[in-house]
Structure formats: structure tokens, C-alpha cells
Amino acid sequence: MKDINSGKELVNKIKSFIKNYDFEIIASESKSELTRFAESYIHQNVAEADLNLTVKIINENRIGTVRMNSIDEHTISKNIEKAIEVTKITPKLDYHYRLLTPQSYKIKSKYSKDTADFTPLNRAQLVKQLIKEVNKREYEAAGAFKTEESTLLVANSEGVFAFDRGTKVDFNCVITRGNSTAHTSFIDSDINNFSINKITDELLETALKNVEQIEIDPGVYTVILSPEAVAEILNYAGYTAFNGKTIMEDKSFVCHNQGKKIFPETITVCDDPFDELTMPLPFDLVGYPREKIYLIKDGVVKDGAYDHLTALKYNRKCTGNTLSPESASFGALPFNLVMKEGDSTIDEMISGTKKGIYISRFHYVNILNPMSIQLTGMTRDGTFLIENGKLGRAIKNMRFNTSVVDMLKAVDMISKERQIKEGFVGPTVAPYLRTNNFTFSSKTSF
């Protein structure tokens, strides 16, 4: 699918095999390359070209879905026959399945030809430069550097036709010298915005401070979370609490708190494809236009993200958050989580903290209690004491068991600066946060 015309040709080809049935189509094509390094050399270096086609046949409220990664006529016709067969033997849905009607789309994915054309040699040269600099300080570098070009097409028999093309640069790195470590990450659509010098400086600045870690006792602390750490917390909250399906099933924190102001007015979290920092998709996987939805607005719990099936089943409005048919039973996820900025600088947040902890990054976060959004996880790659307004000694890693609800209730400072970080679907835009209620439950030995 080089362009919109080849997308239309593909849809026409598929249509010719479907005949008179209603249908939905998702076609995604990607060219993805990733250079991985560890111990300061490139140890894995891969490239992949793939195209996946999903065809959903709707026959008298019965659905059959087939997926294939070859689009020759034989494969398409054989699979469509199978999907039609499935609709003849499966039971009817317990709600009326309606196809989306044609829509218009206000945004496009960001695309950079330079990213699409970036070569393995280009990536290796930048990795080499990073390695050379960190090796001078006797650190080893490990990480991954991905460049990707992808095309997405969604169409149906009602005339929906949505086509989009985007690029992505995704870089992450950890440098290590014994227990002295640091991490950074970068996401953008355009390789021209990537600076290996900036990355190197950030890594060394943190790593050189993250030495001779001391042990502290578990307990409740004031913490300042980096945008990386905030993004991870937001993604788990989005996953467990703001999925419209779990809200409808009475399995979410939102159910009993909708409309209540339980957080400070400074807390606003939304799914916002229009945010200037994010990398949006213009539509979801049935072709709904993406829109801005509030999950928490000015401290008030609003609502979740809804997919097409949940919206049909519970008579709600789909918010443009439909996932692929393989993930349909999960419900919906926010695609572009965004937390509203505050008015502080990170320097002000640190200088205004008498005693606290700065957290650079979490590891292996998981859900402990979905109703209170209690999460667990470890700190890693740079956790520091803040004493009398100064970032001080590095501390050994700790396990946290903390409720996102309690944590957000106690937020008293948010940074103006926001950063774009990896998310569960699209990226997440997050600021630094200071909260006075963050519970560490145990410690580890490094």
C-alpha cells in the first residue's frame, strides 16, 4: 500500500470476493528496523517487512473474522470463504451490530521521509558515537534504536475509507558501571529531532550522580516522579480504570466515583490526539475519528474510553478507541494519554522539597487492586534522596505498593515541562509530579 490509490485497489480486490455481505477491513503494513546494543556493541540488528489484513464478515448479526499476512488472490478468497462459513455456524450477537457510516478526519499521523529512509548504517553510526562517549567514562551502553514506517487502512461496506501513513523513531538506552546506572528514552516521528549528544549528556548526568547508593527504610514518602515514571503510572491507570467496558461491568474505580471531585483541581488527564507533543492516529480500528476525551478534568472523575462493540452493546458513544478484533474482548484503551501541565519548574519542585525522593524510572509495574488502582513495581536506574531542597544521595531500589488514587489526591506540584514517552497504544505526554503520598513496601539489595 504505497499510497491511497493502492489502498483503494486492495479494498476493491477484497470486495470482489465478499459479494453481498457486510464487511469491515483493517490492513496494516510496516517496515520496521531495530538496532539493539549491549555491553557497548551491537548484538542484535533486525529488519522486518509485513502486511496484515483482517476481514470481518457480518451476516445477520453473526460475525466471522479472519486475519492473514498475504494478500494474493488465493489467500484472500480462501480466508473470506472461511469467514463467511463461520458466520453460518456461530450464534448471533446479543446486541445489534451496526456498521460505521463514512466519517471525516481532522488529523493525520506525522510522517518523515528521512525517518522512513534511515538505514542500519545510519543507526549504527549514532550508536557508535554514543558508545564512544560513555566508554570514556567507563560506562557500558545497552539499548534499542528503532525506525519504522507504517500504513493503516480501515474500510467497510458502508463506505468508510480511512487511510494513514506515519513514521516513528523509538530510542531507549541504559548505561551501567557496576550499580551506577541511568536510563533515557526518546520518541518522535522525525529522526531530525533526535540528538545523540543530548541523549549522551542526559545519561551521563544521571549516572554520575547514581553512585554509592544508600539503603533507606520502606514507608510513606513525598516523591517527585519523572515524566517517564508518570507516564507509566498513567498507562496502568488508563488500562485498569478508564476502559469503558470495565466501567459498564462495574469493575472499575470510575464506576463509583464518576462526577466526583476527588483530586486537586490541577489534575487533568485526557486522551488527546490533538496535543502538540503527541503522535496521533487519526482514527481507530473501525474508522471512528479520534477525539479528545477527558478522563479526569480539573480533579473531577469523568469517564473512560469506549470501543465500537462496547458502545453498541451498552448504548454508549464510541470515543474512537476501538482496538483490533483480536483484542475486542478487552474493551478500549486510551490511545494518546496526556496529563495537563502545571506551573512549576523541576528546579522549583526539588528546591521546595525538604525531604523526599526523586524517581527516574519504574520497573515491572503491575496492578494489585483494580478498584483502588493500587499498583506495585520497583524503582530503577536512578532513585535519589531530596534533602533540604537539593537532589542528594542515590538510594538503593525500592518496591512500591501505592494507590494511584491516593497518590494523585496528594499531588501538590506539577511541572510546566512535559515530555513524550512510550504508552500502551500511542505515546503518553506527561509532566513531572510531586506527591506527598507514595508508599514503599520493601527494598532490594542494589
Partner 1 sequence: MKEILKNILDWLEPKVNYADLRFVQIEKENIEVENGILSSYNVSTNRGVGIRVLVDGAWGFAASNNLNKIFLQETAAKALDIARASALTKKEDVKLAHEDKHIDTYITPITKNPFQVSPAEKIDLLVKATRMMIKDKVKKSEGSFIFYKTNKLFVSTEGSELEQTIFESGGGITAYAIGEGDFQKRSYPSSFGGDYATRGYEFIEEMNLLENAERVAEEANQLLLAPPAPEGVTDIVLGGSQLALQVHESCGHPVELDRVLGKEISYAGGSFLTLDKLNNFTYGSPEVTIVADATVPGGLGTFGYDDEGVPASKSFLVNKGKFVGYLMSREDAFKLGLPSNGAARAENWNRIPLVRMTNINLLPGNLELDKLIGDIKEGLYLDYNKSWSIDDKRINFQFGTEIAREIKNGKLGKIYKNAVYQGITPEFWKSCDGISSEKYWHVWGVPNCGKGQPGQAMHVAHGTSPARFRKVKVGASK
Number of residues that bind partner 1 (CB under 8 A): 92
Number of other residues whose CB lies within 10 A of the CB of residue 366: 8
The three-state secondary structure class of 410 is coil
Residue 25 beta carbon to partner 1: minimum distance, rounded to whole angstroms? 14
- Please select the residue that binds partner 1; options are 17, 21, 23, 37, rule is CB under 8 A: 37
Touching partner 1, residues 266-295 (CB under 8 A)? none
- Please select the residue that binds partner 1; options are 167, 189, 240, 374, rule is CB under 8 A: 374
Nearer residue to partner 1 within complex by CB, 372 or 436: 372
Asked if 14 interacts with partner 1 (CB under 8 A), we say: no
Residue type, 26: I
- Please select the residue that binds partner 1; options are 45, 103, 157, 351, rule is CB under 8 A: 45
- Please select the residue that binds partner 1; options are 5, 16, 101, 119, rule is CB under 8 A: 119
**Contacts (Cβ under 8 Å, ≥6 apart) of 339:** 230, 234, 267, 268, 269, 414, 418, 428, 429, 430, 431, 433
Touching partner 1, residues 65-84 (CB under 8 A)? 65-70, 75, 79, 82-83
The DSSP H or E segment spanning 201 is helix 196-209
Residue 18 beta carbon to partner 1: minimum distance, rounded to whole angstroms? 16
Nearer residue to partner 1 within complex by CB, 270 or 323: 323
Touching partner 1, residues 183-242 (CB under 8 A)? 183
Candidate ranges 99-107, 153-161, 287-295, 376-384; the one touching partner 1 (CB under 8 A): 376-384
Tell me, rounded to whole angstroms, the distance of Cα 348 from its chain centroid.
29
Nearer residue to partner 1 within complex by CB, 35 or 415: 35
Please report, for residues 15, 181, 325, 424, the alpha-carbon distance to residue 51 in angstroms, rounded to integers and kept in the order given: 18, 38, 16, 21
The DSSP H or E segment spanning 78 is helix 73-89
Candidate ranges 30-38, 269-277, 419-427, 430-438; the one touching partner 1 (CB under 8 A): 30-38
Touching partner 1, residues 126-155 (CB under 8 A)? 127-128, 131, 140, 142-144, 146
Rounded CA separation 256/261 (Å): 12
Nearer residue to partner 1 within complex by CB, 144 or 204: 144
Asked if 98 interacts with partner 1 (CB under 8 A), we say: no
Pairing of strands 355-359, 219-225: parallel
Tell me, rounded to whole angstroms, the distance of Cα 364 from its chain centroid.
15
- String marking each residue 312-351 x if it binds partner 1 according to CB under 8 A: -------------xx-xx----------------------
Q: For residue 101, give the C-alpha cell.
A: 457510516
Nearer residue to partner 1 within complex by CB, 76 or 346: 76
Nearer residue to partner 1 within complex by CB, 83 or 386: 83
Rounded CA separation 318/311 (Å): 5
- Measure CA of the first residue to CA of the last residue in the chain; give whole Å: 50
Nearer residue to partner 1 within complex by CB, 248 or 293: 248
The DSSP H or E segment spanning 115 is helix 113-116
Asked if 249 interacts with partner 1 (CB under 8 A), we say: yes
Residue 208 beta carbon to partner 1: minimum distance, rounded to whole angstroms? 18
Asked if 364 interacts with partner 1 (CB under 8 A), we say: yes
Asked if 443 interacts with partner 1 (CB under 8 A), we say: yes
Q: Which of 330, 343, 327, 320 is nearest to 271 (CA)?
A: 320
Asked if 256 interacts with partner 1 (CB under 8 A), we say: yes
Candidate ranges 189-197, 267-275, 300-308, 396-404; the one touching partner 1 (CB under 8 A): 396-404
Residue reference for cell 557508535: 128
The three-state secondary structure class of 163 is strand
Nearer residue to partner 1 within complex by CB, 343 or 368: 368
Torsion of CA 129, 131, 132, 133, to 10 degrees: 90
- Please select the residue that binds partner 1; options are 16, 101, 193, 441, rule is CB under 8 A: 441
The three-state secondary structure class of 368 is strand
Rounded CA separation 445/374 (Å): 24
Q: For residue 262, give the C-alpha cell.
A: 476527588
Residue 344 beta carbon to partner 1: minimum distance, rounded to whole angstroms? 30
